[in-house]
C-alpha cells in the first residue's frame, strides 16, 4: 500500500525534497495537464495518469530509495513540482536525474537546486558512479539542437533554463518510452562522480 505522508528525503537552502502527500495530487495533475510544461514530455496528462505517476514514484522510493518526488518551497510550503533520481527504462543500467516544475516556478533556479541536491545525494549517500539526464533536442537551452557530432563546448551541456553548471558532451540517445508518455527522440548526457558531464 502506498503511503502519502510527505516524508522528507533531503533539504536544500530553499527547498524540501520529499515523498508526495495526497494534497499534492491536484497540484501535480494541474502541472502535468499544462501544455507548456508537457510540451517535450509527450503532451498533457489526465488526472488519472498524473496520479499513477505519483504513485509509481512513491513505490520506487519505498522499494529502491529512488524516485521522482515532490519539491516544496521551504518558506511557504508551496508545492512546486517534482524532481529526483530514477531508473529510466531506456537506460536500465543507469540512474537519471529528472524534474518537472509548474510553469509559474520556472526561471528561479528551483530545478537546478533540486537536481543538485539529488545529485549530491546520489553520488554521496547512494554511492552512484554516474547519473544521466535526458531531454529532447528542442528543450536544450536556447532551443537549439546539438551539433551533428553531438558534442558541445564545455559549459554548453546544461539542463533546463541554466541547468547544472557543468560542462560536457551531449550524446544522441534512443527513443524514450514511458507508459504515460508518447515516444520521443532524446539527448542524454551523464554527470560522473568527478562532477563533469560524460
CB 87 within 8 A of CB 55: no
Structural domain spans, the chain = 8-192
Residue 164 has pLDDT above 80, yes or no: no
CB neighbourhood size of 91 (10 A): 17
Residue 26 has pLDDT above 70, yes or no: yes
| 30-41 tens-digit pLDDT | 999 999 999 888
Residue 155 has pLDDT above 50, yes or no: no
Residue 173 DSSP SS3:
strand
Q: Rounded to two decimals, what is the model's pTM?
A: 0.76
Which is more confidently placed, 168 or 26? 26
Helix and strand numbers (H, E) in the chain are 3, 8
Q: Which residue stretches of 25-137 are H helix?
A: 25-33, 47-64, 110-123
Q: In what order do the strands lie in the sheet with 15-18?
A: 8-11, 15-18, 67-73, 79-86, 96-101, 130-135, 181-192, 171-178
The CATH code of the domain at 8-192 is: 3.40.630.30
| Distance between CA atoms of residues 136 and 187, nearest Å | 6
Amino acid at each position: 500500500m502506498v503511503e502519502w505522508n510527505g516524508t522528507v528525503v533531503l533539504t536544500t537552502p530553499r527547498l524540501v525534497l520529499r515523498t508526495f502527500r495526497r494534497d499534492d495530487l491536484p497540484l501535480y495533475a494541474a502541472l502535468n495537464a499544462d501544455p507548456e510544461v508537457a510540451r517535450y514530455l509527450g503532451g498533457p496528462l489526465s488526472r488519472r495518469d498524473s496520479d499513477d505517476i505519483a504513485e509509481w514514484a512513491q513505490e520506487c522510493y519505498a522499494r529502491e530509495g529512488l524516485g521522482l518526488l515532490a519539491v516544496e518551497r521551504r518558506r511557504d510550503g508551496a508545492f512546486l513540482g517534482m524532481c529526483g533520481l530514477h531508473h529510466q527504462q531506456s537506460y536500465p543500467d543507469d540512474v537519471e536525474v529528472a524534474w518537472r516544475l509548474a510553469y509559474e516556478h520556472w526561471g528561479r533556479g528551483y530545478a537546478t537546486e533540486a537536481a543538485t541536491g539529488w545529485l549530491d545525494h546520489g553520488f554521496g549517500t547512494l554511492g552512484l558512479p554516474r547519473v544521466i539526464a535526458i531531454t529532447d533536442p528542442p528543450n536544450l537551452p536556447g532551443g537549439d539542437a546539438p551539433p551533428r557530432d553531438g558534442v558541445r563546448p564545455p559549459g554548453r551541456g546544461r539542463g533546463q533554463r541554466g541547468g547544472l553548471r557543468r560542462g560536457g558532451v551531449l550524446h544522441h540517445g534512443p527513443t524514450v518510452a514511458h507508459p504515460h508518455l508518447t515516444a520521443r527522440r532524446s539527448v542524454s548526457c551523464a554527470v560522473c562522480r568527478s562532477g563533469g558531464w560524460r
